[in-house]
A and B are shown apart, each in its own frame.
Chain A
């Protein structure tokens, strides 16, 4: 904070002597396959990264008053102000004149190559001082900085250096010397086999720096590392004048309180700096091509141009007004969105110019013109009005809505300070907070919030945070976690949702073990501090993005120079402290065991995503006096087609013959129907070929009672059996009614969705059994049950089976219409088909053996 941002000229002094051309191996992040990678670069190339990152920082901040110039020493020729005037100072060149840097500056630096000559760093310093001083002749207040980059391998003319140091102090120049492989105690680093000349030079540089008021010297490796350390710019927020009122200052001027206050930000969300978009220019202009190809020394080049954003407006004129349905249909929106994403304009839309547009609001579907874009605003008066006080303990911390502001008394008015302090002190004593209404400017929309009193070491103030209006709070209902009520209206106390005492104990231990209050660093007295401090937590997105932006701007090629890993400071809070993890180990094991949390297999899947193989599902076939058919699969019709189908084809033919049979169709809102194909009726052998499925429009009649399937041949869509069903189909089932056993086997094979498959097969069996004409599938159903029981036993789905079987019995015997026959068949299977008992699986699940026997016989 000490110095003013900007108003600085930084001179970069770069050693390009031949020794800088020596190469080194640099470790870069692992390659795509985790292989270690190194990169060979010259010392110049490597150390230049530091300078480029520094310059990039200036570009990033974009200040006109943050400027730099580059002086090289060790160049073949000589080109500097002193040489022009007085001669001498050979092999020192002004490479980039002082100015605000941009990408071009970086490009020039990237092109630098070591020379064949040797240059003297002190000469370069003197040239830089002169150049900078000339440039700043009329800008006395500017800050002067220099950064000198060298390997210290070449002779230095050390006469008169004290005079130079003195001159630098007079001009208040700060100098940083960055040395390639300089010894550094802090790192620590010590170069092996250091040449004598370098040792002497390093000593000299240290000596030189010690004579400067503002000087530092360091190792280049260290500098490169530190340059990516997250660095928080301390921002002091501006103080904005306000009035704090208590009471009605107009009606009761002698009672109402009015204080002059200043507001400033206490927290403010900062975000990563945005990226600019680029695209490879494809110039049709031959000039541009010419130029690009001319200045290439290293092969063909491509130009990437920065893009700008343009908003275009489109209207869909064809939209018909009475076509309300279509207008309503979300699918269309989705389609439009897709189109928008891909930057393709839907064909019906027509581009309109902004000038033709009228502003207005939508009142639902109605249009309300409002050319100003705003109705009259609520008249308000600037100020902060206190509405009342309440006890702090009742403050709902989770309702605080935004960033926090300080409210200070006017720093120029002792009376206001004392007055505000008295309120803060009284509130602190009472442990109270205030409700306050905030209007930031006359006519601005009011905000509601709370004032919280704070007593700092030598000043009192308020903190303000916005609180929600009635409109901002959503009172969703959530099922109670503790009070579970059974259908009979009784309270349930023993349920898998309710933790047992043992579980609660395990959790208590876990919470104790994972305590962070003593998990941080030790303070001076050796007491451990809490771990995690907001003031030391850096936003990784901001700093990582910045690091990447800088890196991308300074390297030649990301393929060979991949982005280094994030600075450790960014990640230090990403894992709990090791101490704590160690301490919590046994508590954690106990928890894991006790709570026995299991991941539920991914459910199948909203229709639109790829998922598991869909159940073959066809209920219509049951209706017909034909053999069960193979898989016609549920077809997923392109969304837009579904739309058309369901909308345009409601009037579909419903032949009487079909209608009768349709009675048995279960309710099914499915939009798909399938064509029937004769096939053998062995369910297991069915692997129907992909069939051209057709879309069936929805029935308008009661699907439950009198479905009238009608087939439309307008939208034939060839689909394979693996295709997914339309959303209207029984949602979330992975077992269909057509070939339940097939579906089941296929799904259990994949292994991860066994529970769901067991559940769904049970459902499917019950569904099928309930239907008329179920008799013809009795054998198949018994097969299913056999398989289901087998799987349930092995896969620890005992409860699922038992529950299913009880339900099935109930369905068959007690429900209308029931299916007594089927149950009789089940009974015939005997004990083998009954409930699974504990003894069968040797687990705590299951019923007793007697119960199992009794169940099937009763």
Chain B
């Protein structure tokens, strides 16, 4: 991990990078869990995962809320969460965020930045609830006989958000309920209207509602009964403003998938850029760009100062200091130029105070430095942000090696150019049908530099787990000539067909049919290891490294079970292979005696077993070291030590 100073440095030169992570962190996210607490949510049933344990929907919902809160520490440490329960008779304490909300709505945890105490409190509650199945029912007595009007729930959410959430944050309510017709009975129409109106208020206050509806076999969730006429497209100001179409983000889910569903919504969907997409100069549509693949890094450490009663984070700022006077320089007067080069001894002796290494002297009225704006224009080549289509190429023209950084994903934006969606949709279909990719010149942000990219169309595809692979276009930045390195090796010995066939056997055994690279199976172990320690430290519990499981390690036991004997066979074939035993390397002249490394390996191992490594020649030892990536420096004793150390573990 880069040291803090470096990580934090403000460098305009790096601005051209889309700093995805900083964009994600730039705006805080506030989630209010609004969880239904009615009879049906509290109904106990056998826990599917643990024997003799009873659970209920509310418990699962709270558990999910806790998991999301924990995740937030990683994905957005400045984000805030709160928990509100509705359909409970528990009264709010006076004072605080919940004190004045509607009846039968209860604020369990007011909105606050994620912190260890709240999470611990929630964990305690969950533990107690598992011990005593009636604990939740006692803690949050359900409202019996009728239900709170949904309008009241939305109003309460609105107030809680208003009191607890910063203005500029993105604000979301995760609505969790299993009741598809909460306000049935007389007056339903009126209650629906009021629910809709209050929901509009909520939306206008910039709060989005993301519903998670729990559906069971006995009690399937029918959203047409109530919700489809109440819910709105998520953000009135954003895309998808067509009211005749259902909002996209309703999740109806089995309770077991609740957490998984929430994980999709764990970070608010934010566009990284919004630019015109020029299919031609006069044929332009609007698109928004997203980062669907972005490296999630460990948080960097911060500097704190001890103020006696508490620790406070310090902010760092960068100042520019003038080398002659050592004073701070006003940022507005800074100009830009080329490094001046080393001061060399060969300079005239009489200018003892020569400043040529640190300063440049120019006539007062002339200008030799560039302004910040000029520098930017050199980077952008004077282009405005846009994606400009240059044409189409065959799909296989995009090579594996044409990659330098992660891709972006674009999706049409009807709010900037009407007709964007149909055009975009037709474009995807044409490209897929004709197996083409697009080539485009893109300037994604005002401050970045133009880059050529491949436009890779993606058709919509349903995936397991209820998540759809969306229709859209991936933007893959192509390397420039400046980014391409030459292959340093041009020649090598190659395998015979016999050996290849032997290889093929074990590869076949180790191939996942219809498989692909499965990101979901590989949580970042280093990140998880770091976060586990962070969490343990915050909760003041012990971290046990033994318990940590690295899921990215190859499943070697299984591999050997499936292909072990075939791999062994292959090794035998290899050892008998003539080419593999070539002794003389054609391109190596006569200087160094080429050694057959396969023999060396066996020989060295044999001597090691007998404890007679020292009998080997230095050349042999060195060759062994070289072929195993060990250093070849030092005396014979060093080499012996090094080889011994290596063979001890291998």
Contacts and interface: CB of A to CB of B under 8 A. Distances in A.
Nearest to A393: B516
B334 A277 contact: yes
Contacts of B629: 241-243, 260, 382
Contact of A415 (B28, B119, B369, B574): B574
A565 to B, nearest CB: 11
B416 A361 contact: no
Contacts of B554: 247, 385-388, 437
Contacts of A411: 489, 492
Interface string B9-25: 10101001000000000
Contacts of B452: 532, 534, 537, 573
A499 B526 contact: no
Interface stretch (A200-208, A280-288, A672-680, A837-845): A280-288
B109 interface: no
Interface in A503-544: 503-504, 506-508, 510-512, 514-517, 519, 530-532, 534-542, 544
Interface in B390-439: 390-394, 397-398, 400-407, 409, 411-412, 414-431, 433-434, 436, 439
A626 interface: no
Nearest to A550: B338
Given A311-B5, A401-B295, A414 B582 contact: yes
Interface string B352-396: 011111111111111111100011001111000000011111100
A238 B518 CA distance: 31
A611 interface: no
Interface in B193-212: 193, 197-198, 201, 204-206
A472 B294 contact: yes
Contact of B301 (A291, A360, A363): A360
A857 B579 CA distance: 96
A497 B378 contact: no
Nearest to B12: A275
A281 B251 CA distance: 63
Contact of B346 (A97, A519, A540): A97
B333 A104 contact: no
B534 interface: yes
B280 A373 contact: no
Contacts of B565: 255
B238 to A, nearest CB: 10
B563 to A, nearest CB: 8
B552 A398 contact: no
B340 A489 contact: no
B627 A389 contact: no
B519 to A, nearest CB: 5
Contacts of B460: 480-483
A584 B3 CA distance: 53
Contact of A538 (B357, B482, B571): B482
Contacts of A503: 422-423, 426
B339 interface: yes
A385 B360 CA distance: 54
Nearest to B504: A426
Interface in B265-315: 265, 267, 269, 279-280, 282-285, 290-296, 299, 301-307, 309-315
A605 B494 CA distance: 64
Contact of B471 (A255, A341, A475, A482): A482
Interface stretch (A167-175, A450-458, A787-795): A450-458
A475 B503 CA distance: 37
Interface stretch (A24-32, A74-82, A694-702): A694-702
Contacts of A468: 293, 295, 519
Contacts of B116: 363-364, 366
Nearest to A242: B629
Q: Interface size bucket, B side? A: 35 or more
Contacts of A298: 363
Interface string B504-543: 1001101111111101111111110110011101100000
A342 B345 CA distance: 40
B312 A388 contact: no
B363 A299 contact: yes
Interface stretch (A41-49, A139-147, A728-736, A739-747): A728-736
A329 interface: yes
A275 B511 contact: no
A558 B370 contact: yes
A257 B564 CA distance: 10
Contacts of B588: 412
B303 A357 contact: yes
Contacts of A421: 492-495
A507 B344 contact: no
A243 B649 CA distance: 15
A343 B366 contact: no
Contacts, number: 924
Given A236-B488, A364-B73, A511-B430, A60 B550 contact: no
A566 B381 contact: yes
Contacts of B239: 479
A275 B525 contact: no
Given A330-B168, A499-B425, A278 B237 contact: no
B113 A364 contact: yes
Given A324-B112, A376-B545, A362 B77 contact: yes
A102 B356 CA distance: 7
- Between B247, B264, B430, the greatest number of chain A beta carbons within 10 A of the residue's beta carbon is seen for B430
A702 B247 CA distance: 27
13 contacts: A103-B340, A265-B485, A271-B16, A278-B360, A352-B305, A397-B398, A400-B407, A404-B403, A422-B503, A458-B494, A499-B429, A598-B419, A732-B237
A409 interface: yes
B341 interface: yes
A459 B334 contact: no
9 closest cross-chain pairs (CB), A and B: A364-B114, A102-B341, A557-B366, A330-B168, A541-B449, A99-B346, A422-B495, A104-B356, A445-B526
B162 interface: yes
A211 interface: no
Contacts of A341: 331
A272 to B, nearest CB: 7
A751 interface: no
A685 interface: no
Given A403-B405, A479-B245, A534-B484, A595 B423 contact: yes
A85 interface: no
B567 interface: yes
B491 interface: yes
A248 B353 contact: no
Interface in A454-506: 456-461, 463, 465, 467-489, 492, 495-500, 503-504, 506
Interface in A377-417: 377-378, 382, 385-391, 394-404, 406, 408-417
B167 A331 contact: yes
A390 B512 contact: yes
Given A477-B470, A574-B450, 11 more contacts: A267-B403, A311-B5, A358-B303, A394-B516, A401-B295, A418-B495, A476-B292, A477-B265, A487-B246, A557-B365, A702-B102
Given A275-B375, A387-B554, A104 B359 contact: no
Nearest to A449: B517
Interface stretch (B48-56, B472-480, B636-644): B472-480
B144 interface: no
Interface string A91-114: 000001111111111010000000
Contacts of B353: 287-288, 291
B117 A366 contact: yes
Nearest to A515: B392
B249 interface: yes
B188 interface: no
Nearest to A404: B401
Interface string B224-248: 1000110000001101101011111
A470 B523 contact: yes
Interface string A302-326: 1111111111111111010100110
A627 to B, nearest CB: 28
